[in-house]
Structures are given as C-alpha cells and as structure tokens.
Chain A
Amino acid sequence: MSLEKEQKVVELVKASFEDAEAEVQRERRVKVWVKPNRVFPLVAYLKGHGFNHFVAISAVDWIKDGEIELVYHLWSYSEKVHVMIKTRIPRDNGSMPTLKPLFNQAETYERDIHEFFGVYFEGNEKLDREFILEDWDGPPPMRKDFDTRLFSAEFYDQEDLESEALRLKIQPYKGHLRK
C-alpha cells in the first residue's frame, strides 16, 4: 500500500513549520506534534490547503508529566487524510488560544474541555457559562487526580440514608416477593 498522499501532507506541514514533528501513522492518518503557540497558525495553514472539516478537540491528562495533551482533529475531503495535531500544555494554569476565528464549532469543544479538564481557552467568551455540568462545585471531573469513586461514594452512597428510609417505612413495595 502506498502512503503517497500521506507523505505529501507531511511534506506540506514541514515546508512551513520546521519545528513541527510530522509523521505518517498509518494509511489516511497523519500525526503532527507542535508547540502550543503554533497550533493556531498550523490549523489556519491546513485549512487553506483543503483541510476544511474540523472534527473535534480531545484532551488527555498526563498526570506524571504534569501536562495536558490537546489533540485537534482535521479531515480533508479532497485528500481523504485525517491529521491529528498534538500539543501539550501545563496542567496547572494551562491555557490555549481559541480556534473560534477559524472554526466556529471549536467553541463547543473548548467549553467541553474547559469543564472537564480545566483548560482555559483565551478568547472564548462562552467559557464561563455552564455547559454540561450544572451547579458543579468540585474540580474538573475528568482529571486523573479526581477520584470519581471516592466522590461517588461520598455523594451517592446511601448506607445512612437506607436505614433512615427503613425507619420511615418508605421502601418500595415488596409484596409480590412474599408470594
């Protein structure tokens, strides 16, 4: 199987972004590592070269390195190549410029990542508005140092409530079991 069109995309990236590490991952899949401040120009550059479908932004919490990895997915309908632009920002007080001027839909993904990973996107005005989590007072729940099991046990476990429910005799009806 030839990887010609993928190689062409790698060369396209390397032609203008010397500091980027671009490689072909497999057929129709190209991976690019860049510095956080180079993401916006790279996405703008690729948008100008036919990568006009902005698929998603995803985030990975690398707690040992103290970094959060952001992955920007782009797809080209003409080339039929998926480009992943990966970058890493610090976990604490990390921030990224928003991609909203390039792709409007980036706003939604940024709000999502802001809520679940605590990453700040500069220039996104809707970031402070509630998106998925309502009335959430805790830390961002998708971070690795957030103990969802402990949190769940504290808030939704019911041993004390169960005995209270028994005392009040408000258990659901169990008559059909006695037959």
Chain B
Amino acid sequence: MTKEKAPKGIKGWAQGRSLWMLHFCTGCGAIEMPPTMTSRYDMERFGITPMATPRQADLLLITGYLTVKTLKRVVRSYEQMPDPKYVIGFGSCTVNGGMYWDSYNTIKRLDLYIPVDLYIAGCMPRPEAIIDSFTELIKGIKEGRFDGWIRYRENIEFYKRNQAMVMDIRKWSLDTELAERIWNEVQEERKKRFERATVPHVYELAERIPEGLPK
C-alpha cells in the first residue's frame, strides 16, 4: 500500500487558495483575529475567511492557552473537520505552555495532542506574524509539505494516548471503540500520576501569614 501523501501541484495550489478557517477562538490570542480579518490586514486577500462550523473548515487556529476543558472541544472539532485540514499553533502557550507553564489545568505542548503544521511564536504575535504564517502555509500546501491529518491518522494511538492522559476521551472522540480501549489502557498510569502529584506540599507563602488576625 502506498503511503498517503498531501496533495501538491495544481491541486495543492487550489487547496491553498481557498482556506476556510474555523472560527474557534481560545485564550487571549482571539483578540488578534479581528484586525487580521478586517480591512487593516484583510486576510481575505489570501482567500482565508472565518467559517462557523468545523465540518466546512480547512484550517484550525489555536489562539492561545488550552485548558483541558477546551482541549476536549478542540479535539472534537478537529476530528470533525474534513481532510485535508491544517492546524496553526498561535502564541507561546501552544509552544511550551507560555505563562501558564505551571497551571494545574492547561496543556503545555499542543502538538502532542493534535498534529500542528505551523507554530507562531510570541506573546502576543502581531497580525503581521499571522499573515506571515498564512503565506507560509499557502506556499507549503502548494508544495505538499503539510500533512497533519495524515500524521494524525497514522499515529492515532500516540495522540489518543496523550489525550487520554489528561481527559476522558470516551466522550470526546468520534472513534468511540478506539477511545474506550485506549482509555482503559491508560487508567493505571493516570492513577499513578495522580498519586504522585497529590503529595501534600506546603508553599513557603503559607509561612508568611501576618500574626494577630482576628478570628
């Protein structure tokens, strides 16, 4: 069986010229989207326009930190999008956690949970940076370089396992059988991590309570 490849040449050129972006805004990066969409930077000159539903979208922009709660919706939306689909990670939070690196409820690296084609570094990236990534994406699609959905399909076990470590994938995956199996597999490791993580650890802050507070 030949390995599936991303379209290139005239097919890729056509694909890259009519990207519809899923209007899914997470985190604070969403505030950079209105200027990018509207007349000042006008992303529609590249054929990119916001789309309301995942089933009609080609491009998913993750604009900032992802809590576990949002990640569930992102995974669900990503799986609903038809092939070919592209993901852009936007801002430091999707690269390495950014300023939420020690939060109890935000993931750090997005590309361990869904395949990312391009990252935009910065906190916040300016609309120029978004436009730059769009041009890079269009160029790459034409050359057939971006194949996120193929990577997702081929390494579905890896991605589902990582997702299962942080969230209940049974409710949020389209392939429920696979989700059920992998969820059962990771239960033991999940439990072990919870046990390790909940060792009581009192911060130094607690020692600095001012004396003589009324009770």
Q: A residues touching B (Cβ–Cβ < 8 Å)? A: 21, 33, 62-65, 88, 132-135, 137-139, 141, 144-158, 161-162, 164-165, 168, 170-173, 175-176
Tell yes or no: B138 within 8 A of A by CB: no
Partner of A155, one of B119, B193, B199, B206: B193
A44–B13 CA distance with the chains assembled, in angstroms: 69
Are the C-beta atoms of A155 and B197 separated by less than 8 Å? yes
Q: Which of B111, B136, B151 makes the CB contact (< 8 A) with A176?
A: B136
B29, CB-defined interface residue at 8 Å: no
A168 and B166 contacting across the interface, CB-CB below 8 Å: no
Closest partner residue, chain A, to B116 (CB atom): A172
- In the bound complex, do residue B111 and residue A172 qualify as a contact, i.e. CB atoms below 8 Å apart? yes
Can you list 23 contacts pairing A with B, beta carbon distance less than 8 Å?
A33-B215, A62-B209, A62-B213, A64-B206, A134-B72, A135-B168, A138-B104, A144-B203, A147-B197, A150-B197, A151-B104, A152-B102, A154-B193, A154-B196, A156-B107, A156-B166, A157-B108, A162-B112, A165-B158, A170-B151, A173-B118, A173-B145, A175-B140
Closest approach, in angstroms, between the C-beta of B69 and any C-beta of chain A? 6
Q: Which residues of B contact A156 (CB under 8 A)?
A: 97, 106-108, 166
The reply to whether B215 and A88 form a contact with Cβ atoms under 8 Å apart is yes
Q: Report the tally of A-B residue pairs with Cβ distances under 8 A.
A: 110
Q: In the complex, A159 Cα to B171 Cα: how many Å?
A: 27
Central interface residue in B105, B107, B140, B146, by most chain A CB within 10 Å = B105
Residue ID in chain B nearest A172 by CB atoms: B116
Q: How far is the CA of A36 from the CA of B103 in the complex (A)?
A: 32
Report the minimal beta-carbon distance from B15 to chain A, rounded to whole angstroms: 16
Known contacts A152-B104, A155-B197, A172-B111; A134/B158 CB under 8 A: no
Find out whether the CB atom of A64 lies under 8 angstroms from the CB atom of B166. Answer: no
Q: A175's closest neighbor in chain B, by CB?
A: B145
Q: Do residues A145 and B201 form an inter-chain contact, with CB atoms below 8 A?
A: yes
| Residues in A neighbouring B112, C-beta threshold 8 A | 158, 161-162, 165
Interface residues of B (CB under 8 A from A): 68-69, 72, 89, 97, 101-109, 111-112, 115-119, 136, 140, 145-146, 151, 155, 158, 162, 165-168, 193-194, 196-203, 205-207, 209, 213-215
User: Which residue of chain B has its CB nearest to the CB of A65?
Assistant: B209
Supplied contacts A148-B104, A152-B108, A168-B155, 10 more A-B pairs, CB within 8 Å: A65-B209, A135-B167, A138-B197, A149-B102, A151-B197, A151-B198, A153-B197, A168-B158, A172-B89, A173-B146
Q: Is the CB of A155 within 8 A of B103?
A: no
Instruction: Establish whether residues A141 and B105, one from each chain, have CB atoms under 8 Å apart when the complex forms.
Output: yes
Q: Provide the bound-state CA to CA distance between A176 and B139, in Å.
A: 10
- Measured between beta carbons, the chain A residues less than 8 angstroms from B209 are 62, 64-65
Q: Is the CB of B198 within 8 A of A138?
A: yes
List of A residues within 8 angstroms of B116 by Cβ:
172
Residues of chain A within 8 A (CB-CB) of B119 are 172
Instruction: Give the docked Cα–Cα distance between A88 and B213 (Å).
Output: 11
Which residue of the partner chain B has the closest CB to A148?
A: B104
Residues of B close to A64: CB separation below 8 A:
206-207, 209
Q: How far is the CA of A134 from the CA of B205 in the complex (A)?
A: 28
Q: How many whole Å from B30's CB to the nearest CB in chain A?
A: 20
Name the residue on A nearest B111 (C-beta).
A172
- 3 shortest interchain CB distances as A-B pairs: A147-B201, A154-B197, A151-B197
Shortest distance in angstroms between A10's beta carbon and chain B's nearest beta carbon? 15
A137–B207 contact, CB under 8 A? no
In the complex, what's the smallest C-beta–C-beta distance from B19 to chain A, in angstroms?
Answer: 16
Instruction: Contact check, B103 vs A152: say whether CB atoms are below 8 A apart.
Output: yes
Find out whether the CB atom of A63 lies under 8 angstroms from the CB atom of B206: yes
